[in-house]
Amino acid sequence: MVSQPLFTDHDVVHLGVLNVPHVHKVLGFLCLGHYALRFWWLVRYGSMYFDPSSWVTWATPAVHLLLSCSSFIFPVPQRRFDSKPIIWKELQLHNILFTFRSCIIFWLWCLTPCFSGDCGQRHWFLRLLMVCFSHYVADRITEKFEQSSKTTTRDMPWGPNVPKWVQQYVKVYYAVCQLFATTALLICGSLVLDSAFAIMFPIQLSTFLMTLVRKNLISGTSWHVWYALSLGAVFAIPISHSLRISLKLPPPSFLSALTRTHETPLVCEVIKLLIAPLAVFLRLKLRLDKYLVFAIVTVSFVSLTLFEREVSSQKAVYETSLPENVVPWIRNAVGGSLAFMSR
What is the tens place of the pLDDT at every residue in 263-310? 556 666 777 789 999 999 999 999 999 999 999 999 999 888 888 777
- CA distance linking residue 81 with residue 85, whole number of Å: 7
CA distances from 105 to 47, 224, 231, 329 (A): 18, 27, 19, 45
Q: Determine the angle formed by the axes of helices 55-69 and 192-214, rounding to 10 degrees.
A: 30
From first CA to last CA, the distance across the chain in angstroms is 70
Q: What is the DSSP string of 160-192?
A: TT--HHHHHHHHHHHHHHHHHHHHHHHH--TTH
| ∠ Cα 176 180 184 (to 5°) | 170
Provide the Cα torsion 232, 238, 244, 247; round to 10°: -90
* Whether the Cβ atoms of residue 98 and residue 152 lie closer than 8 Å to each other: no
Given this model, what pLDDT does residue 5 score? 56
Given this model, what pLDDT does residue 129 score? 97
Backbone φ/ψ region at 79: left (φ over 0), alpha (ψ -120 to 50), beta: beta
33-37, 120-124, 201-205, 279-283: which range is least confident on average?
120-124
85-134 confidence digits (pLDDT tens)? 888 999 999 999 999 999 999 999 988 765 544 556 788 999 999 999 99
Q: Is 88 helix (H, G, I), strand (E, B) or coil?
A: coil
Given this model, what pLDDT does residue 328 score? 57
What average pLDDT does the segment 166-190 reach? 93
What average pLDDT does the segment 60-67 reach? 96
What average pLDDT does the segment 153-164 reach? 84
Please report which confidence band the pLDDT of residue 159 belongs to, taking 50, 70 and 90 as the band edges: confident
- CA distance linking residue 287 with residue 118, whole number of Å: 36
Given this model, what pLDDT does residue 15 score? 61
Residue 259 in this model has a pLDDT that exceeds 70: no
12-30 confidence digits (pLDDT tens)? 666 655 666 678 888 999 9
* Whether the Cβ atoms of residue 264 and residue 313 lie closer than 8 Å to each other: no
| ∠ Cα 337 317 319 (to 5°) | 30
Please report which confidence band the pLDDT of residue 251 belongs to, taking 50, 70 and 90 as the band edges: low
CA distances from 188 to 106, 127, 156, 226 (A): 11, 10, 29, 26
Of the candidates 33, 32, 49, the one whose C-alpha atom is nearest the C-alpha of residue 41 is: 49
